[in-house]
Amino acid sequence: MARTDAIVLGAGIVGVSVALHLAKRGMSVALVDRAGIGEQTSYGNAGIIEGNTVFPPAFPSDLGALLRVAFKRAGEANYHLSFLPRVMPWLLAFRAASQPQRLAETARLIRPLFSRAVAEHEALMTEAGATHFLRKTGWLKVYRGEKSFASLTAEFDVAAKFNLPLQTLDTTRALALEPSLRPVFAHAVFWPQAASVSNPLGVTQAYAKRFTALGGITLVGDARSLHRTGNRWRVETDEGALDGAECVIALGPWAPDLLRPLGIVLPLAIKRGYHRHFRAQGNAGLSRPVLDAEVGYLITPMEQGIRMTTGAEFAARDAAPTPVQFDRVLPAARQLFPLGEFADANIWLGSRPCFPDSRPVIGRAPGQANLWLAIGHAHWGLTLGPATGRMIAEMMAGETPFCDPAPYRAERFG
Ligand SMILES: Cc1cc2nc3c(=O)[nH]c(=O)nc-3n(C[C@H](O)[C@H](O)[C@H](O)COP(=O)(O)OP(=O)(O)OC[C@H]3O[C@@H](n4cnc5c(N)ncnc54)[C@H](O)[C@@H]3O)c2cc1C
């Protein structure tokens, strides 16, 4: 039976970053996953490191948008009718957290963590030999109508308060940035401090390789076997029982499978999302992620081709895929960018693990000694993985965390 200082359960970008930061502090660490490293949610995302995020995605505030979702015409959201009663309490809490004052409060609370997002990735990429994945080319959001662009005033005000640079562009100036786009939009906003990666899986695997180079071990095992033995935590792995003085749960959308049996009930829901890869026609290309804001999809250049990701789908985590949002957005997407054939046949489905206030839980698990949580990173798990890893490792090592961990405590849910 092996013994370690810490067991990290879940080898997505969050768990791998936690494990690496613990190993950097000289702890003996085992990273346990039942699947391959970084192959779940952390594989298929849009690759954006959203260092300049101001507001989280919000519940629709105008009736028109809500009706489009209700009548299943919206690109940005879909739902399974049979799932709505189960997710309704969460949706109501999400709607309450989407009031303008609450959004402004969230923006203030999350800023210290987000402001470190790009720098923390860059530091890990440098030591992991992974900087070739990084593009510091910003993020472009395009707006087809006046109304949606006009609704950004509050976001611009908050961005100014935080000294976040942004450029509002007319069509011509936006096309100068991305010449393959077509002028089907009236306005664009360029966020220069956002970064992106060309292969999120490659990034997570590079961090895992660095972790093992520092002496960390990776094991295959089922996190649901976690139990206490004396004052230690034990998990069963393919190589036998593994004991750890401390344990970190970083299971992304699967966290409730383990938390519920431990008596920890948190309002974690999921927003499912899909991706497909396209070839570009002719010499067309993109230099950065582009969000078609009203239509509700994103296109981003990846090693595999142009990756199109969809917005949120409210459905049971394990329900069969229903990628209907592609049909809703594809005609408009083809107007904006010359998408060619599919680069592969796969339609990928992932689940964003989300708390209703759009903040992750990072810190001690309530009521369980030596158990830590790094879960609920929603639309921003890639962005916040390394910053989360640093923060939780600093707390576990008894150091002063680089930013105030209070907004991320699980106890905020009462
Ligand atoms: C369509 C889409 C686009 C996105 N775009 C972005 C983006 O551009 N930028 C951004 O920052 N974020 C984005 N996200 C969000 C981001 O991908 C997630 O927040 C992030 O990947 C979550 O990472 P994680 O490590 O918490 O979870 P995961 O990557 O899911 O890792 C959890 C791990 O736990 C393991 N596991 C589960 N159950 C068990 C068990 N019983 N035993 C052992 N192991 C287990 C899994 O195998 C998995 O490896 C996007 C998400 C989606 C769906």
C-alpha 406 – ligand 1 centre gap (Å): 23
| Ligand 1 center to 175 CA (angstroms) | 33
SS3 44: helix
Which atom of ligand 1 sits closest to the CA of residue 309? 1
DSSP assignment letter at 83: G
How far CA 36 is from CA of 16, 68, 205, 238, in Å, comes to 12, 38, 9, 14
Sign for the CA dihedral angle at 98, 381, 248, 134 comes to: negative
Residues 15-33: tens digit of each pLDDT: 999 999 999 999 999 999 9
Please name the residue whose Cα sits nearest to atom 50 of ligand 1.
45
Please state the rounded mean pLDDT for residues 40-61: 91
200 Cβ inside 6 Å of ligand 1: no
**Tens of pLDDT, residues 378-395:** 999 999 999 999 999 999
Closest CA to 382 of 186, 236, 207, 264: 207
Residue 40 has which token pair?
Answer: 């779940």
Query: pLDDT, tens digit, for every residue of 73-88?
Result: 988 999 999 999 999 9
Measured in angstroms, how far is the CA atom of residue 13 from the centroid of ligand 1?
Answer: 7
Average pLDDT, integer, range 104-122: 96
Q: How far is C-alpha 396 from the geometric centre of its chain's CA atoms?
A: 23
Q: Which residues pair with 3 in a beta bridge?
A: 243
Total length of the chain: 414
* Whether the Cβ atoms of residue 201 and residue 38 lie closer than 8 Å to each other: yes
- Judge whether 28 and 212 are in contact, CB under 8 Å: no
Displacement of CA 79 from its chain's centroid (Å): 20
Whether 289 shows a pLDDT value over 90: the answer reads yes
Tokens of 185: 């939009």
Between strands 29-33 and 217-220, the pairing is: parallel
Measured from the CA of 376, which atom of ligand 1 is nearest? 26
pLDDT per position as a tens digit, 291-330 = 999 999 999 999 999 999 999 999 999 999 999 999 999 9
360 pocket-lining for ligand 1 (C-beta < 6 Å): no
Phi, psi at 299, each rounded to 5°? -120, 140
Token digits for 195?
């970064």
* pLDDT reading at 61 higher than 90: no
Q: Could you give the CA distance from residue 365 to residue 373 in angstroms, rounded to a whole number?
A: 6
Provide the pLDDT for residue 337: 98
Q: Which atom of ligand 1 is nearest to the CA of 223?
A: 42
Query: How many angstroms separate the alpha carbon of residue 144 from the centre of ligand 1?
Result: 31
Ligand 1 atom with the shortest distance to the CA of 196: 8
Residue 281 DSSP one-character state: S
This prediction has a pTM of 0.97
Over residues 321-369, the pLDDT tens digits come to 999 999 999 999 999 999 999 999 999 999 999 999 999 999 999 999 9
Q: Is 381 in the pocket of ligand 1 (CB under 6 A)?
A: yes
